[in-house]
Structure 1
Amino acid sequence: MASSAPRAESAPSSAPPRSRVASVLLGASLMLIAFNLRPLFSSLSVLLPDVLQQTTLSSAGAGYLTTLPVLCLGLFAPLAPRIAGRIGPERTLLLALLVLMTGTALRGTGSVPALFLGSALAGAAIATGNVLLPSVVKRDFSGQAALMTGLYTMALCGGAASGAALTLPIAHVFNDSWRVGLAAWAIPALLVIVVWAPQAMRARSAASQSRRKVSGLWRDPLAWHVTFFMGLQSALAYCVMGWMVPILRERGLGGIEAGLVASVSIMVQVVTCLLLPVLAQRFKDQKWINAGLGLVAAVGLIGMLYAPLSMIWQWAVLQGVGQGGLFAMAMMVIVLRSPDSHVAAHLSGMAQGFGYALAALGPLLVGLLHSMTGSFQASGWLFLTLGLLVALSGWGAGRPLLVQVRSAETSSHRG
């Protein structure tokens, strides 16, 4: 059983005091990093029908392609705390941005193998950013954790919405080139590298920071509730980012209109991402919020699959409310259930490592069901099942407890 008081052998770590200007710059930089962690998924979604037409990629292959970066999120997430322990979280994020830029650019070379390789590289980089952002927020903004969680999850949703809305117009400008549409998203990554690199190089090295060993996390029931909540809501999210536009195009919408519907749905997520963490922190627990959001997100997605196209915008907004709230709360419970930034990094690695490996099944199953049946209609049962499981795991993760772990300082050494 998790308890309301953690077993920790020393006080929670915190960052040295920063000036107000430095704190604002750090907060803005974290938001810019977060913005770059989602266009990879939504940009491919809007161009997927064009990629299928102009390459040898099959529907099943498209399912594997949309699943690959999500699977990489799970495979590489556990490595992020270890790398950060050696070179520091700031330099680790800088390395991740460089790999993200490289992988995104590689997807624009035009070959199917490059699509898969670039997606894998970018997925590994995004996994690192996903894990370390909650830890940095816990360390540097412990007094404003809810606000900062809302802001960077808002930036994540903004990046996904931008990818859905702008990728197809960018491709149209360059003679309907899906290659340019995908590769263009390496440019924002390059820009944030320019902003982040000076801060990363000025940060303390890992050797000068406290080194701690966290044990017992994988045996803690609460940690598993947080992990399943993260993974199952992510399965829904990547079904949306990977398949919403193809679903709408199969139902009869044009490419640009389908992209706009997806973008509006994701932009609604921006609002709920910003508001819900601040509101949820005012309650004793988040059980009802998590469970309700899971059902709303699933019902909205099912409505987009079956409801008349005349009401598609309303269903898109409803889905955005549920999905944006789910993602914000999944990130928020990592912070709320952790006693300090070291535990937050390890809980984040566990939740996003195992969780995203689980999440990869969502878009994969949508692709396989489409390949077997020739349509997306059978996916409705998948969306309903995911929604119910999200509600159940969210109920457990929303309890007002801390994970029960042992967090002990180890001898510092140079990595």
Structure 2
Amino acid sequence: MQNSSAPSSTSPSSGRTAIQGAGLLIVGILLIAANLRAPVTGVGPLLGLLQQAFGLGAGAAGLLVTLPLLCFALVSPLSAWAARDLGLERTLFLALALIAAGIVLRSAGSLTALLVGTCVIGCGIAAGNVLLPSLLKRDFPDDMTRLTAIYAITMGGASALGSVCAVPLAQALGWSWALTAFIVLPLAAMLAWLPQLRRHTAPASASRARGGAMWRSALAWQVTLFLGFNSFVYYVVTAWLPSILSASGYSAVAAGNLHGLLQLASALPGLLLVPLVRRLKDQRLLAAGMAACTVLSVLGLIAAPGLAMAWVPLFGFGTGAVFILGLSFVGLRVATPQQAAALSAMAQSVGYLMAATGPSLVGRIHDAAGNWNLVLGICALLSVLMGIFGMLAGRAGKVIGAAHIG
């Protein structure tokens, strides 16, 4: 009787413990996700103030968005390798610590501290960008699409809150304190992640020796360029939208609120895409449709800037949907967690390297042209290319030629 009763007495407790453990892990993942965009995008509404404070032109000011993107590109391939030695959980905690340290340094008051702190933030975010998809593929393989959408929603929500609050905080306390306020995000995530430090597991990552096989896959390049063009366009508009709107007569507060609306709208597609991605045999039309939304919104800002209340959320919705689709492709177009990590590192590295050229480059184009129409026209053209690669990446299938990665 004792042997037969033991399972019934221990099984419910074990089940509750497992559920609680999974719940804590998901909370930690979402709080980490809240740090992966807001500390960078929150600078956009403050670029005008920072230009005034340090006497920067548009091209130089664009470095404040370009530098973290460049760090994303350079650090992303190294993140999984570092996690192999330190453990996935400790590496993510270290990434949060870097984001927190970078926020403090960025707010110190000097131009050098502003730039160096921005780079430190970028290094921390890069690790989270690469390792979270791998963690989801490893620990939640059956819920990959749903959890990807949820953490994308969290990213967008945190970014929206940061954008809306940035200008009022700067007006009340100064730009330094407005940037310091973002410290709340990594500190909360570090606290929630503490229980995970008891684990010391290797990431689902590609090996050093064989990771290059992913780079020879045509499908992997299609996924990468789909995300890369989206990153370029998104970060250009995110960096300069307040300036674009100000040039059209919007106040700083109104521009900041619309910037926040963009971030919020970029989170909403997750609610729609989860059931669609699961039901569709391939995602070609979905990818093309979301790219079309981006093209239309950018052209709308050129033709009718007075209707920015319509164009801005449409842009956020389109680019947010492409981002979620691209992250989903990282899981859907591979067969193993190791391939997911390899494709994630490839897409992050190339995609963010493309994006890093954007804000500063278009800032210089604006300075030369004297208006934002040429910049927006370039974004529309690149969004068309994004749609083409989205249709290629959206075809049902798996990466071939990299099955031996691991």
TM-score by length of 1: 0.89
Match of 1:222 in 2: 219
- Aligned counterpart for 1:297 among listed residues 294, 297, 314: 294
Q: 2:62 is matched with which residue?
A: 63
Superposed CA deviations along residues 174-228 of structure 1, whole A, max 9, x for unmatched, are 1xx01111121012211211111231x2113439x99855451111111111111
| Paired position in structure 2 for 1:130 | 129
Tell me, what secondary structure is at the counterpart of 2:373? coil
- Alignment partners' CA distance in 2, 1:394 and 1:89: 31
Aligned residue for 2:107, secondary structure, equals: helix
Match of 2:231 in 1: 234
Determine helix, strand or coil for the equivalent of 2:62: helix
Contact kept in structure 1, 2:205 and 2:338, CA below 8 Å: no
Establish whether residue 265 from structure 1 lines up as the match of residue 262 from structure 2: yes
1:313 aligns with 2:332: no
Residue 364 of structure 1 deviates from its aligned partner by: 2.6
Of 390, 406, 413 in structure 1, the residue corresponding to residue 403 of structure 2 is 406
Q: Which residue of 2 aligns with 1:165?
A: 164
Does the CA-based 8 Å contact 1:277-1:332 persist in structure 2?
no
Alpha-carbon distance in structure 1 between the residues aligned to 2:175 and 2:365: 25
Q: 1:211 to 1:269 in 2, by over 3 A?
A: closer
2:388 is aligned, of 376, 387, 392, to 392
For 1:293 and 1:196, locate their aligned partners in 2 and report how far apart those are by CA, in whole Å: 34
Q: Contact 1:45–1:243 (CA<8 Å) still a contact in 2?
A: yes
Question: Residues 251 and 63 (structure 1 numbering): CA distance in 2 closer, same or farther, change over 3 Å?
Answer: same
The aligned amino acid for 2:263 is I
Alignment of 1:147-166 (within 5 A): 147-166=146-165
- What is the deviation of 1:408? 5.4
Regions of 4+ moved over 6 Å = none
CA contact (8 A) 1:214 1:406 kept: no
Structure-1 separation of matches of 2:280 and 2:325: 13
Q: Name which of structure 1's ranges 157-166 and 299-308 shifts more when overlaid on structure 2.
A: 299-308
CA contact (8 A) 2:105 2:117 kept: yes
Q: State the superposition RMSD in angstroms.
A: 1.9
| Equivalent AA in structure 2 for residue 181 of structure 1 | A
Aligned to 1:181: 178
Separation of aligned partners in 1, 2:238 and 2:294: 13
Distance 1:408 1:392, change over 3 A: closer
1:328 counterpart = 2:327: no
Alignment check: 8 A CA contact 1:304 1:312 kept:
yes
Residue type at the aligned position of 1:277: V
Residue of structure 1 equivalent to 2:7? none
Greater C-alpha radius of gyration: 2
Residues 251, 19 of structure 1: alpha-carbon distance in 2 compared, 3 angstrom cutoff: same
Distance change in 2, residues 1:89/1:339 (3 Å): same
Instruction: Tell me, in whole angstroms, the C-alpha distance in 2 between the residues paired with 1:234 and 1:210.
Output: 23
Cα 1:161–1:338 change in 2 (3 A) is same
Distance between the aligned counterparts of 2:64 and 2:218, measured in 1? Answer: 33
Is 1:252 aligned to residue 233 of structure 2?
Answer: no
- The within-5 A match list for 1:95-106 is 95-106=94-105
Aligned to 2:39: 40
Taking the aligned partners of 1:54 and 1:360, their CA distance within structure 2 comes to 23
Q: Within 2, Cα distance between the matches of 1:365 and 1:210?
A: 34
Describe how 1:197-208 pairs up with structure 2 within 5 A. 197-199=194-196, 201-206=197-202
2: CA distance between counterparts of 1:283 and 1:184? Answer: 42
Give me the whole-angstrom Cα distance separating, in 2, the residues matched to 1:82 and 1:214. 11
Q: Which residue of the partner structure matches residue 29 of structure 2?
A: 30
Read off the aligned partner of 1:331 and give its amino acid letter: L
> CA separation in 2, counterparts of 1:103 and 1:142?
33
Query: Residue 72 of structure 1 aligns with which residue?
Result: 71
Q: Output the amino acid matched with 1:349.
A: A
Q: How many residues align?
A: 388
Please state how far the C-alpha of 1:64 moved relative to its aligned partner. Answer: 2.4
Q: Which moved more, 1:55-64 or 1:217-226?
A: 55-64
- Cα deviation, residue 348, structure 1: 0.2
Contact 1:105-1:186 within 8 A present in 2 as well: yes
What is aligned with 1:111? 110
In the alignment, the residues of structure 2 paired with residue 294 and residue 259 of structure 1 have an alpha-carbon distance, to the nearest angstrom, of 24
Q: Read off the aligned partner of 2:257 and give its amino acid letter.
A: L
- Can you list the C-alpha shifts for 1:317-373, whole angstroms capped at 9, x where unaligned? 211221111111111110111211111111100000011101222223321111212
User: Equivalents in 2 of 1:257, 1:39: separation in Å?
Assistant: 19
Q: Deviation string for 1:78-111 (max 9, x for gaps)?
A: 1111112222221111111000111111111111
SS at match of 2:279: coil
- Structure 2 distance, partners of 1:55, 1:393, is 40
Q: Distance in 2 between matches of 1:148 and 1:324?
A: 15
- The answer on whether the counterparts of 1:214 and 1:342 sit within 8 Å (CA) in structure 2 is no
Range 319-328 or range 212-221, more displaced: 212-221
Name the aligned partner's letter for residue 51 of structure 1. Answer: L
The whole-number CA distance in structure 2 between the counterparts of 1:361 and 1:211 is 27
CA distance in 2, matches of 1:215, 1:65: 31
Task: Give the whole-Å Cα distance in 2 for the aligned partners of 1:214 and 1:59.
Answer: 39
Please give the per-residue CA displacement for 1:355-398, whole angstroms capped at 9, x wherever unaligned.
11012222233211112122212112211111111001111111
Kept in 1: contact 2:90–2:200 (CA 8 A): no
SS of corresponding position for 1:206: coil
